[in-house]
Structure 1
Amino acid sequence: MRQANIFAGDRVRRLRKARGISQAELAIALGISSGYLCQIEADVRPITGDVLLRLSRQFALDVSYFGDNDDMRIASELRETASDPLFGGGVTGEEASAAVRSAPSIANRFLHLYRAYLALEEEHRTLQTTIAQDDASTASRFPYDEVRDWVQANRNHFAPLDRAAELLATDQQFRSGSHGEDFLRYLRDFRGIRVIRSQQPLDAGMIWRLDSNAKTLHLSEGAPLESRVFWIAHVIGLIEQGETIERLVRGAKLSNPEACALARVALANYFAGALVMPYEVFLQAARDTQYDIERLQLRFKTSFEQVCHRLSTLQRRQSPGIPFYFLKIDIAGNVLKRSSATRFQFARFGGPCPLWNVHQSFAQPGRTLVQLASTPDGTTYLCIARTVSLPSNSYLDRPRAVAVGLGCEVTYAAQTVYAKGINLDDKQAVDQIGPGCRACERIDCRHRALPPIGRALDVGTAERGVVPYKIDLRRD
């Protein structure tokens, strides 16, 4: 697959000015002409591979800094945001990309303003509902989106917590497959905390509770072993890495206390995954098994979801794994968790594409589905999906049905066991998915539920296609 051109003029210019280097001086250091550098900074010409390597050495940065994955993510969000009926019409992908390249700060501020607008709208609707129902318990959902955006901006990798978990696992000689006993011993011997598995429900909806005064951790007896082990690791993270977690939360500059609280939970969960599956040991096992999720489950005594999420975090600069996206979704299409180390974009509004195999997995519970899917930007992904519903302890439990999706760009697919028997070069085997009908501009999709916002429609009666209208993609 041909690598997309890299335009990073604004980043090069900002780096150069921050270091106090003139254009002529940088051109000499890179071994190129001043005119060529001027064209690079103006985004007239892309950065070649040789120049990219020289830039990374010159500024002591990873080459990924100059890549356009973040720019593509922001441009995709900008294009989808502009499709909101509020603005009356959308923008093309080229226009969004050009806006991000030429004025990234303004693009980010526009998106920040739009998120603030959505939050106010949600608060307004919540207030109306509260007044109508006299129910003060209704809360805004938008802190979740803010934390998700922050996790996404960090590519779902938090190096201080990852290294701290790896160091603790090494120092304490925690054993893969025996984490439960090792974690219990650690809490007892080093923190004086005992763990009690409660036969009765702790409280309505509660699965664990830490009583700091009594130095007792109560766990729900009915939960699977891998869940109980993860909760213990979560508590170890809160105790041992509290200062690091607070420092990371402060650096995130989140807008409200609710978002900060959610970020603390997310970081403690991140530490727990890193403690159960230490980075280098887990990455080597993943490579040895060709990223076979089931085999990694057996090796580390974890759940399918825990392995998938951990695979999406392996982005240590010195030894990265395959960049995966990760998604957890319920049967109604609600996204419960999402993060991505790839350029893959999740829909901001409207439902995710129905052609995506994560939806189809509910029709085949417990079976791992594999799909080649292409997004509108032309990138093809290897998509893995499976349901991960928890077992029921009673007929009246009504466990929630959820599914997990994991995927990577097709250029990495051959490194995984899931590419076995698939012709990765067969264009006809690729499903065309999109970011959701409201923002998707595929005109020949028979699965479209809604027309794209901001586009003219032809609903004449002389003819009809697979959808009852034609979409005019020409700009006014």
Structure 2
Amino acid sequence: MAEKLFLGPKLRKLREARGWTLEACAERLGLSPSYLSQIETNQRPATARVLIALTRAFHIDASLFDLEGDARLIADLREATTDIAGPVSGGAEPPTAAELKQAVANTPRLAHQFLALHQAFRQLDERVKALDDTLGRDELGARVALLPYEEVRDFFHYRDNYVDSLDTAAEALAADIPQDGPIERALETLLADRHGVRTVYVAGQEALRRYDPASRILSLDAWQPGATRSFQQAHQLALMSFRDLIESELDRAAFRTQAARDVARVGLANYAAGALLLPYRAFLEAARAEKHDIDRLRTRFQVSFEQVCHRLSTLQRPGWRGVPFYFARVDMAGNITKRHSATRFQFARFGGACPLWNVHEAFATPDRIGVQLAEMPDGSRYISIARSVSKPSGSYLANDRRYALSLGCEVEHAGSLVYAAGLDLNGPAARIGVSCRICERTDCTQRAFPPLDRALHVPENERGVVPYVLDGPRPDRY
């Protein structure tokens, strides 16, 4: 049964932005004012006919009313409310799924503010624990900095990892880049012609990219792979060509700290660099033609495996959408260093990822692509591919950087994916979760620790794979 579409706050915001009264808007939509009022207050869902009328009256794409953003917000709220249910709320149970859905539908701004408050609580809690540890050892400890990365990740997360202004500008500039030769040389020429920047290659320099504004010299590490050097050139080109667009996006984001703004500036320039190297329509058409074969795409566009994966997760332009993918990069300690999702797939905001997710197995089979049919606790199924990559340091005395990459989409898109060949989409799937701390599965034998919202007991005369037994979920829980 399809989920009902409640559009209240979004519709009210659109109407007020255009200065329309309720009566004037209702007339444009062919509805009665009372019916429109009920939709705006979420007393009634929007029908397909109403949705079509909205797209025509407001001249917008129907995807604006997509529920995927709400699903991500609900999942993040669930983790946050579960996290604080015990120690902060006096033992009160966290809200049910229905209550969280109501909160997101009726008060989305309040939901976002709650997440920001929870983030501040987590940071403060970590500082207190660090101070506790320092005092306990009777040593002077370094101040624990409030890292801005989570704020920047959320900025991209709630935009479906798509920034239209930069994407379209980069696509226009990419039309001036010749595609019949080495992309690195083409970017070198464009930097020189457009901005008077000379590119030099220095063997073994510590920085991947170093730009001197005074001399207008861009230095690249000659020992890095060509795809890495090209990306750094594209990053520099994006910074210089789209500076006003980038600063405008930063102003609208209104980050809380200068550090977060600085991190986001780099992230936006990286986004634009990816859009330059892999221009939207040309790349989307190629991805469809190649059934998203990453190796073929990286060879065709002269980029890396990771750059293709990252770009595939951004193809969410209204009216010209690609397959909705999630993308993650994980280090050998299990830390998620990149995470983007245009799907319902959720990543843990705190703590480690599910150990049953095939991204962890990728380190054991270097340079091989592993394919997994995975099922989340909500019943959604994904085709997940994983591969390890190594980024050379250029020296025996310095460690190479090793990561595992994961790219996935829901099984309904299997026909568009070369990696689905031979998979039994209706057969058994790996039962993965977000993370142990909030996973509701009571029968998982791979648990690192119990979930925060579930009572447990430890049998005295019996020992299973884990030394405790979890109580089952309440009927109205997730």
Q: What TM-score results when the alignment is normalised by the length of structure 1?
A: 0.90
Q: Where does 1:13-412 land on structure 2 (aligned, <5 Å)?
A: 13-16=12-15, 30=29, 40-43=39-42, 45-84=44-83, 85-87=87-89, 88=91, 89-124=93-128, 134=140, 140=145, 142-170=147-175, 172-175=176-179, 178-199=182-203, 201-203=204-206, 206-391=207-392, 393-412=394-413
- Equivalents in 2 of 1:121, 1:470: separation in Å? 27
Q: Secondary structure at the match of 1:326?
A: strand
Contact kept, 8 Å, 2:69 with 2:160, in 1: the verdict is: no
Q: Secondary structure at the match of 2:235?
A: helix
The change in CA–CA distance for 1:220 and 1:465 in structure 2 (over 3 A counts) is: same
The change in CA–CA distance for 1:318 and 1:344 in structure 2 (over 3 A counts) is: same
- Equivalents in 1 of 2:250, 2:391: separation in Å? 31
Contact kept, 8 Å, 1:157 with 1:315, in 2: the verdict is: yes
- Equivalents in 2 of 1:198, 1:133: separation in Å? 42
Q: Secondary structure at the match of 2:362?
A: helix
Contact kept, 8 Å, 2:202 with 2:221, in 1: the verdict is: yes
Structure 1 unmatched ranges of 5 or more: none
- Equivalents in 2 of 1:3, 1:176: separation in Å? 47
1:326-357 alpha-carbon deviations (Å, 9 max, x no partner): 11110111111111122222111121111111
312-321 or 190-199, which moves further after superposition? 190-199
- Equivalents in 2 of 1:381, 1:403: separation in Å? 18
The change in CA–CA distance for 1:69 and 1:234 in structure 2 (over 3 A counts) is: same
Shift of 1:36: 5.9
1:340-397 alpha-carbon deviations (Å, 9 max, x no partner): 1222221111211111111121121211111222222332222111111124644333
Contact kept, 8 Å, 1:90 with 1:453, in 2: the verdict is: no
Contact kept, 8 Å, 1:451 with 1:471, in 2: the verdict is: no
The change in CA–CA distance for 1:30 and 1:79 in structure 2 (over 3 A counts) is: same
Q: Secondary structure at the match of 2:471?
A: strand
Q: Secondary structure at the match of 1:157?
A: coil
Contact kept, 8 Å, 2:177 with 2:187, in 1: the verdict is: no
The change in CA–CA distance for 1:44 and 1:166 in structure 2 (over 3 A counts) is: same
State whether structure 2 residue 469 is matched by structure 1 residue 469.
Answer: yes
1:78-125 alpha-carbon deviations (Å, 9 max, x no partner): 110011143344333222112212322222211111112223334455
- Equivalents in 2 of 1:195, 1:125: separation in Å? 47
The change in CA–CA distance for 1:461 and 1:40 in structure 2 (over 3 A counts) is: farther
149-158 or 113-122, which moves further after superposition? 113-122
Contact kept, 8 Å, 2:131 with 2:141, in 1: the verdict is: no
Contact kept, 8 Å, 1:376 with 1:434, in 2: the verdict is: yes
Among all aligned residue pairs of Structure 1 and Structure 2, give the percentage whose two residues are the same amino acid: 45
Tell me what 2:442 maps to.
443
Contact kept, 8 Å, 1:458 with 1:472, in 2: the verdict is: no
- Equivalents in 2 of 1:36, 1:377: separation in Å? 33
The change in CA–CA distance for 1:39 and 1:460 in structure 2 (over 3 A counts) is: farther
The residue type paired with residue 259 of structure 1 is A
1:184-232 alpha-carbon deviations (Å, 9 max, x no partner): 1122233222222112x434xx222111112211111211111011111
Shift of 1:286: 0.7
22-31 or 433-442, which moves further after superposition? 22-31
The change in CA–CA distance for 1:286 and 1:301 in structure 2 (over 3 A counts) is: same
The residue type paired with residue 175 of structure 1 is Q
Q: Secondary structure at the match of 2:310?
A: helix
Q: Secondary structure at the match of 1:398?
A: coil
Contact kept, 8 Å, 1:157 with 1:314, in 2: the verdict is: yes
The change in CA–CA distance for 1:265 and 1:127 in structure 2 (over 3 A counts) is: farther
Shift of 1:325: 1.2
Tell me what 2:11 maps to.
12
Contact kept, 8 Å, 2:187 with 2:233, in 1: the verdict is: yes
Shift of 1:7: 2.7
Shift of 1:34: 6.7
- Equivalents in 2 of 1:173, 1:401: separation in Å? 32
Tell me what 2:421 maps to.
420
The change in CA–CA distance for 1:245 and 1:198 in structure 2 (over 3 A counts) is: same
The change in CA–CA distance for 1:419 and 1:36 in structure 2 (over 3 A counts) is: farther
Structure 2 unmatched ranges of 5 or more: none
- Equivalents in 2 of 1:462, 1:51: separation in Å? 62
1:31-83 alpha-carbon deviations (Å, 9 max, x no partner): 56777656544545543333322222232222122222111111111110011
- Equivalents in 2 of 1:155, 1:176: separation in Å? 32
- Equivalents in 1 of 2:222, 2:55: separation in Å? 52
375-384 or 212-221, which moves further after superposition? 375-384
Contact kept, 8 Å, 1:176 with 1:300, in 2: the verdict is: no
The change in CA–CA distance for 1:166 and 1:67 in structure 2 (over 3 A counts) is: closer
Q: Secondary structure at the match of 1:344?
A: coil
- Equivalents in 2 of 1:278, 1:343: separation in Å? 25
The change in CA–CA distance for 1:184 and 1:12 in structure 2 (over 3 A counts) is: closer
The change in CA–CA distance for 1:463 and 1:357 in structure 2 (over 3 A counts) is: same
- Equivalents in 2 of 1:8, 1:444: separation in Å? 38
Q: Secondary structure at the match of 2:349?
A: coil
Contact kept, 8 Å, 2:198 with 2:216, in 1: the verdict is: yes
- Equivalents in 2 of 1:459, 1:177: separation in Å? 66
- Equivalents in 2 of 1:127, 1:174: separation in Å? 56
1:208-265 alpha-carbon deviations (Å, 9 max, x no partner): 2111112211111211111011111111111111121111111111011111110111
Q: Secondary structure at the match of 1:429?
A: coil
The change in CA–CA distance for 1:240 and 1:16 in structure 2 (over 3 A counts) is: closer
Q: What TM-score results when the alignment is normalised by the length of structure 2?
A: 0.90
